[in-house]
Structure formats: structure tokens, C-alpha cells
Amino acid sequence: MREIGAPERMWATPKVLGEHGKSIWARLGPYLLECGVLTQLHKESFTVLCLCYDRLMQIAEEINNAPQASRVTIEDKRKSLKKQPALMAWKAALVDFRAYSESFGLTPEAMDKLEVKKLKELKPDEKDKSRYFK
């Protein structure tokens, strides 16, 4: 079986990502690359992880900016209470983000299952992340 190589440096941030997605791309990408989790085959999946996080945070901001009384429930046209649609969308986005997080070893249990290099096991010169960015 052939080994799939890691990219020499972190890919450029996809234009499709919003503010929160770009943030997680820049923060986690180099670390996952250094640990050997990201290979040439993972660019699209990692992009989806960042999109999920971006959506999760956008919905959270929408909920937090809503008046206190409408954060969990809202009134429909008949004046009866129903669940806040944004809260239900947030829960769905959280499920997606958790699934992708686990696939990249971003939970304690998932990290234990992945065979990745720990940063402390790397040689001192391998810890220099600047080599991934131009």
C-alpha cells in the first residue's frame, strides 16, 4: 500500500469560508498538517469541517443577537409557541461539526484512535510552522 503524502505547506484558505471558517482553518490547519492528519486527500473534507464551524458560529451569533424572549421559542401566526428555528438549525450544525471533528481527531477520544505524530515528538526544526506559509 502506498503512503499518501502530506502537502509541503498548508493550502490557501478557500474563498468560500466566512470569518469563523477562516479562523479555524488558520488555527487548526497547520497543526493537523504537522501531526500528519492532513494529506493531499483531505483538503475538501477539511474545508467542509471549516464550513460547518462557520455555520455553527453564524447561527450562534444570530441566536445571541435575538431578543432574550425569542432565543428558545417564538410565537407563530396563531400566537402559539414553537421552537426557535435558529436553535434547531444550530443543533443540526453542531451534529455535523462534531462528526467532522471526530474524523480529524479533534476530540479526546478520536485523537486517541488516530495514529498521529505529537508535536512534542517532532524534532525542534520540524516545529517551525512558517515553512507552510509563504
pLDDT digits (tens, 9 = 90+) for 2-26: 456 667 788 999 999 999 999 999 9
42's CB contacts (< 8 A; 6+ apart) are: 104
In a domain, 63, yes or no: yes
- pLDDT tens digits, 71-127: 666 667 777 777 778 888 999 999 999 999 998 888 878 777 766 555 455 555 555
H or E element, residue 30: helix 19-34
In a domain, 7, yes or no: no
In a domain, 37, yes or no: yes
- Bridge partners (DSSP) listed for residue 74: 82
In a domain, 50, yes or no: yes
Q: How distant, in Å, are the alpha carbons of 7, 34, 38, 71, 108 from that of 41?
A: 10, 15, 8, 40, 23
In a domain, 62, yes or no: yes
- pLDDT tens digits, 37-82: 888 888 999 999 999 999 999 999 988 887 765 666 666 777 777 7
Sequence-ordered strand ranges (E) for the chain:
73-75, 81-83
pTM over 0.75: no
In a domain, 45, yes or no: yes
Please tell me the total count of domains within the chain: 1
In a domain, 13, yes or no: no
Q: Which domain holds residue 47?
A: 19-132
